[in-house]
A and B are shown apart, each in its own frame.
Chain A
Amino acid sequence: MKYLCLVYYDEQRVDSMTDEQWAALVEQCITNSERLKQSGQFIAGEPLQSVRTAKTVRVRDGAVSVVDGPFAETREQLAGFYLIEAQDLDEALHLTAKIPPAQLGSIEVRPLRQLPDR
């Protein structure tokens, strides 16, 4: 089954890291992704730019509105994602626990839903 792992953390906390701490975190993420690729469980995964760069699009009655944000009202912001292949939920949770930012923020794990065949 496919699971999407949404990585959330407090950007301010990460911004206040020293360069060495940041480099170490990035290094851990690369190592983890490589391990996932080797085991064939990595489908996709990317880090995101800061939430400060985010725009939100809505269409209401045909009219498109684009606003800045979402702003950081919440304590943790979406920072990246992994799409993984796992045998079942237990394996997905096990793999998620090894994603390095799990140690500073939180990771939401969602099974993918299959659209009906056409």
Chain B
Amino acid sequence: MPERGRPTPTDHVGNGPTLAEIDILYRTQSRRVLATLIRLLGNFELAEEALHDAFIAAVQQWPRDGLPSNPRAWLVSAGRFKAIDGLRRRARFDASLSLLADQLDSHEEPEWEREDLEDDRLRLIFTCCHPALPADAQVALTLREVCDLKTEEIARAFLVSPSTIAQRIVRAKQKIRDAGIPYRVPTREELPARLDNVLRVIYLVFNEGYSASSGSKLTRADLSAEAIRLGRLLLELLPDPELMGLLALMLLHDSRRAAHTDEAGELVRLDEQDRSRWNQAQIVEGAALVERALASRRFGPYTVQAAIVAVHAEAASSAETDWAEIVGLYDLLLRISPSPVIELNRAVALAMRDGATVGLAAIDRLLDRGELRDYHLLHAARADFCRQLGRLDEAREAYRTALALAQLEPEKRFLQQRLNELNTGPREA
């Protein structure tokens, strides 16, 4: 199905807004209008068509007649009218559409004016992230419907073909219709579990943008920016501590983006990053959000992770980092959500606090339990500790294992370089 893009400009000139101004309105308002139209029309495809038709009408009428006093309400009203009109015309070929048109028309018109239209965007997010949809479809649908990314853009970001993404989105919409997935904010009892899923989708989008799961390019800034935008939007609509924690976590990670890779696109380790290139505005905003979330005492794992990144972000150098504080936060995180990856991160912090011997012992305990044997970062950390302790053969072996398991090209080059350094003789660590 072809995608409905922005309306094509026509040549009208008058007292009303210019086409450039309407284009800005499109960019800022179209998702809100769409969210309301989906609720009013009960159907994604119909709403998208209606949105497109409403903007065509705006481009034709506003430059001539002037900007309506409430453009968003005008667009919703025009879209709804166009959809009902379209159904009536098509009803000549399909009688069932006539009934649908009558049902939609009988809705009391001012209903959508009374309600808070912002709620519609919240509804849309919860529908797109409904757990009954497959995980990859939740991500694609959220980026398409809430963030207004084009199918091609989503496909590029996830390194799959546009037809795959288009199919995921079409199937998800079918499932929403056929299974009766609701278009509403979950009830109070459902909210915590459902919000967890929304947060998971947002963080997935962010991570896909920050450290791509495969391929040659390490960061795809656009996706991360979308995830942060989504986090801000959601926090505006729903002041939840864990949401604050997630937004903080994304801002704090993103603050290092410029220093995270060098000019050649190579990975730069945290302890070797140029901290003057960290984005201080994002660090300040992120740290303030962490504090607010922690103060609520209803925080979860995202907030604790954000607190850890905040400790790093506020340290002038790796050596001046409060490693004891970080180990303590990892202990807290392990109590909230136990996972071997968190144990590994704790082992690295432990090594910074108590030395490589202690870190190595913690990693070997993980390996003894059969955990993370195929995780390249475990072997990379183990190699670093062995190198620091002068156990060079073991270090080489561990770097080779890490290299064989790594997926991303920059990570592979980074590990290869470490291995080469060991082979050409030890350098100061």
- Chain A interface (Cβ within 8 Å of chain B)? 1, 3, 86-92, 111, 113, 117
- Chain B interface (Cβ within 8 Å of chain A)? 96, 130, 132, 178-182, 184, 186, 190
Q: Is the CB of A89 within 8 A of B96?
A: no
Kindly provide the distance from the CB of B156 to the nearest chain A CB, expressed in whole angstroms.
32
Kindly provide the distance from the CB of A27 to the nearest chain B CB, expressed in whole angstroms.
26
Q: Is the CB of B180 within 8 A of A88?
A: yes
A75 to B181, CA, bound (A): 30
CB<8 Å pairs between A and B, sample of 26: A1-B180, A3-B180, A86-B180, A87-B180, A87-B182, A88-B180, A88-B181, A88-B182, A88-B184, A89-B130, A89-B132, A89-B179, A89-B180, A89-B181, A89-B182, A90-B181, A90-B182, A90-B186, A90-B190, A91-B182, A92-B180, A111-B178, A111-B179, A111-B180, A113-B178, A117-B96
Q: 6 closest Cβ contacts across the A-B interface?
A: A88-B182, A1-B180, A88-B180, A89-B180, A111-B179, A89-B181
A90 to B176, CA, bound (A): 11
How many contacts between A and B, using CB within 8 angstroms?
26
Kindly provide the distance from the CB of B95 to the nearest chain A CB, expressed in whole angstroms.
8
**Which secondary structure dominates chain B's binding surface?**
loop
Kindly provide the distance from the CB of B151 to the nearest chain A CB, expressed in whole angstroms.
25
A90 to B182, CA, bound (A): 7
Please name all residues of chain B whose beta carbon is closer than 8 Å to the beta carbon of A1 when the two chains form the complex. Answer: 180
Kindly provide the distance from the CB of A1 to the nearest chain B CB, expressed in whole angstroms.
4
Please name all residues of chain B whose beta carbon is closer than 8 Å to the beta carbon of A87 when the two chains form the complex. Answer: 180, 182
Kindly provide the distance from the CB of B123 to the nearest chain A CB, expressed in whole angstroms.
12
Please name all residues of chain A whose beta carbon is closer than 8 Å to the beta carbon of B132 when the two chains form the complex. Answer: 89
Please name all residues of chain B whose beta carbon is closer than 8 Å to the beta carbon of A117 when the two chains form the complex. Answer: 96
A1 to B60, CA, bound (A): 40
A88 to B130, CA, bound (A): 12
Chain A residue nearest to B190 in the complex (CB): A90
A117 to B97, CA, bound (A): 13
Please name all residues of chain B whose beta carbon is closer than 8 Å to the beta carbon of A111 when the two chains form the complex. Answer: 178-180
Please name all residues of chain B whose beta carbon is closer than 8 Å to the beta carbon of A86 when the two chains form the complex. Answer: 180
Chain A residue nearest to B194 in the complex (CB): A90
Kindly provide the distance from the CB of A49 to the nearest chain B CB, expressed in whole angstroms.
30
- Of the candidates A86, A111, A117, the one having the most CB atoms from chain B within 10 angstroms of its own CB is A111
